[in-house]
Amino acid sequence: MRNDAPALATAAPGRWRLSSAAPILVAALAAAALWVAPSVLDPFATNVLTRSMIYAVLAVTVDLLWGFMGALTFGQAAFFGIGAYAAAMLLGQYGGAPQWMAAALGLAVAVPAALGLAVGWLSFYHRSTALYASVVSLVVPIVVVQLIYSGGEWTGSSSGLVGFDVLPFEIEGYFRLAAIVMVAVTLAAWVFARSDAGRALVAVRDNDARCAYLGLDPKRLQVVMTTVLAGVAGLAGFVFANASGVVAPENAGFLFGTELVIWVALGGRGTLLGPVLGTIGIDYLGANLSGDLPFLWQLLLGATFVAVIILLPGGLAEIAKRAFAVLPSKGAEETAPRLVARPPKPIQVASEHPLLTVSGLAKSYGSLKVLENIDLAIRPGELVSLVGPNGAGKTTLMRCLSDGTEPISGAITVDGAPIAGLAPDRIVALGVGRKFQVASVFESLTVAECLLLARASQDGLSLVGQAGTLSLPQAALDVMRMTGLDRLLGTSVRLLSHGQKQALELSMVVALEPRIILLDEPTAGLTKAERTTIGTVLKTLTSDLGIAAVLVEHDLDFVREISSRIVVLHQGRLVLDGTVDEVVGSELVKTIYSGGGHD
């Protein structure tokens, strides 16, 4: 084992400070420029741009939900409309005295946020699909618009509401209000998206199953984001109702929801600034052109949208990025945190008390029985290999052990606690880490970010900043050193080799400090040297730290070398459970592997 310090990719402190201050600098400049802008703009431009900037706030929320988190949504229009209507209805009823204005603001944020919570709960649940969330986001604006139509005098039905009291501003004042809200929301989104918690959004988009198996609750994150951003959309609705003095059902409609998506896509999803500039540019251009060429403008926009989706998924921001990439730039290397070892957890004492018990486990898909009558107990410090021919039910057994929502009969307990009904993230909290057969990592993140997320369920994530150090258990550091990952902290996972991804996933699982580790063919597709490394790591984990390991493996030589016990599965039944010598010498195993034994 090498003892040299891990390579540091941390940037020089000066540049570091500059880059973290960049959003605030840009925001301050933008705010200052927009503050003076109304004095040089004509009233038409001022009015239009006020509206455009309010829409840009919505574009930021759509970008966070769709561009970063991967949930395509048409529903932000509904939350915007509800915010606008809530403000207009309250102000129309009670007038614009300061206390009612404050109440209107509160209502315009709280009502959409409450609905957002309900929509989020409906959209995101264990095993929900991205498409289902989009379906719900389509239903919401349709329902909201119909409710507005049926609201009679309350909502003004199809003609909307006018003539309610608004903030006592001139058009320059509304422009500045919209500008401040836009800059503030964009800045907050920017800081959040760059923070460690913001990277978790991307992780959910990339691979929400992996998030769950790191003990994070991806669905809760999605629900929280939906709720908060519904509130932000409501805030934009409040500003809109004041600035325009009119609210209409179209403001909440599905068509407006699709327009928001179009602006974000054209500007460049996942870039924040792209959608903001795209929205302002397109809405302003549209306001100027649609008077003269109403249909042609829509036609042009539609055609550009189709072309961008097909040819340039990154939107106009991608063109800008490519243009900048041509320029010589220094410091292209990602900044990465410094690695430190965290104090070890107390070693588990090898005891006869089993950590994992399986009793009478059976699982079937329809009439096909995949597992039958499995009884198994695994104690701390054991390294149990699960062998058997293809289709014996090994991977299914692993899934049943790590996901309590799998429909099974029989019982599984971890340290005495039954896992029935528990989602994967809750089972991780009980101390079970799972490594998948095909490396399950986050392609869009760097190595360091992946590991940071692996620690997030225990250490938390910063909402505003990036961690300067990455504190991992010694065992995870060992895996990284032996596989060379410690020198690739700032590298994008997409660029790693197959073996490096496997090693990264193993490091992530080990970083969870599990008490039981489930590994599905950790050596598949690895070189001989890499296998030996992984074998050494597993032996250290089990014998030195007292972790229990369950390993699915086809390579019998490897199994013989490292296992303390071997369990043989055949056609869904547990046919043999014994020491290495007992199993390897068994006639039954020879028959099974030579193709006989089909009863």
Partner 1 sequence: MLLILDIMTTAAILFVVAIGLLAIFGVLKIINFAHGAWLTIGAYCAVVTAQLGFNPWLALPLAFLVGGALGGLAELFIIRPLYRRPLDAILATWGLGIVIGQLITLGFGRDVQFTPNLLSGTVTVLGTDYSAYRLVALAAALVIGVAFAATMEGTRLGLSARAVIMNETLARGLGIDTARVRLITFMIGAGLAALAGVLLTPLTSVDPTMGVGWLIGAFMLVMVANGSLLALAIACLLFGAAQVLISTFVSPILGSIAIAILAALVLRVSPKGFARA
Q: By the criterion CB under 8 A, which residues form the site for partner 1?
A: 72, 122, 125, 127-132, 134-136, 138-139, 142-143, 146, 149-150, 254-255, 258, 261-262, 265, 295-296, 298-299, 301-303, 305-306, 309-310, 313
Minimum gap (Å) between residue 287 Cβ and partner 1:
18
Of 164 and 254, the one with the shorter C-beta distance to partner 1 is 254
Of 25 and 135, the one with the shorter C-beta distance to partner 1 is 135
Query: How wide is the angle at C-alpha 273 spanned by C-alphas 240 and 466, nearest 5°?
Result: 115
The answer to whether the CB of 511 falls within 8 A of the CB of 473 is yes
Q: Please state the separation of Cα 68 from the chain's center in Å.
A: 8
Of 74 and 442, the one with the shorter C-beta distance to partner 1 is 74
Minimum gap (Å) between residue 396 Cβ and partner 1:
18
Give the DSSP per-residue string, 225-293: HHHHHHHHHHHHHHHHHHHHSEE-GGGGSHHHHHHHHHHHHHH-TT-SHHHHHHHHHHHHHHHHHTTT-
Strand, coil or helix: 494: helix
Q: How many residues does the chain have?
A: 599
Of 366 and 595, the one with the shorter C-beta distance to partner 1 is 366
Minimum gap (Å) between residue 142 Cβ and partner 1:
5
d(CA 261, CA 526): 43
| 446 secondary structure, DSSP code | B
Minimum gap (Å) between residue 164 Cβ and partner 1:
24
Of 282 and 592, the one with the shorter C-beta distance to partner 1 is 282
The answer to whether the CB of 347 falls within 8 A of the CB of 314 is no
Of 72 and 214, the one with the shorter C-beta distance to partner 1 is 72
Minimum gap (Å) between residue 40 Cβ and partner 1:
34
CB burial class (10 A; 0-12, 13-18, 19+) of residue 76? buried
Strand, coil or helix: 45: helix
Of 255 and 417, the one with the shorter C-beta distance to partner 1 is 255
Minimum gap (Å) between residue 138 Cβ and partner 1:
6
Of 48 and 266, the one with the shorter C-beta distance to partner 1 is 266
The answer to whether the CB of 115 falls within 8 A of the CB of 79 is yes
The answer to whether the CB of 230 falls within 8 A of the CB of 116 is yes
Of 298 and 359, the one with the shorter C-beta distance to partner 1 is 298
Q: What are phi and psi of 566, to 5 degrees?
A: -125, 135
Minimum gap (Å) between residue 300 Cβ and partner 1:
9
Minimum gap (Å) between residue 293 Cβ and partner 1:
10
Minimum gap (Å) between residue 449 Cβ and partner 1:
24
Of 190 and 305, the one with the shorter C-beta distance to partner 1 is 305
| 65 secondary structure, DSSP code | I
Which residue in 333, 400, 310, 334 sits closest to 199, CA to CA?
334
Minimum gap (Å) between residue 406 Cβ and partner 1:
15
Minimum gap (Å) between residue 132 Cβ and partner 1:
6
d(CA 354, CA 380): 7
For residue 235 the two structure tokens come to 């805030």
Which residue in 188, 200, 197 sits closest to 276, CA to CA?
188
The answer to whether the CB of 240 falls within 8 A of the CB of 80 is yes
d(CA 482, CA 13): 29
Of 190 and 263, the one with the shorter C-beta distance to partner 1 is 263
Minimum gap (Å) between residue 62 Cβ and partner 1:
12
The answer to whether the CB of 535 falls within 8 A of the CB of 452 is no
Of 306 and 411, the one with the shorter C-beta distance to partner 1 is 306
Of 253 and 380, the one with the shorter C-beta distance to partner 1 is 253
Which residue in 450, 435, 368 sits closest to 401, CA to CA?
435
d(CA 307, CA 66): 19
> How many CB atoms lie under 10 A from the CB of residue 325?
10
Minimum gap (Å) between residue 334 Cβ and partner 1:
26
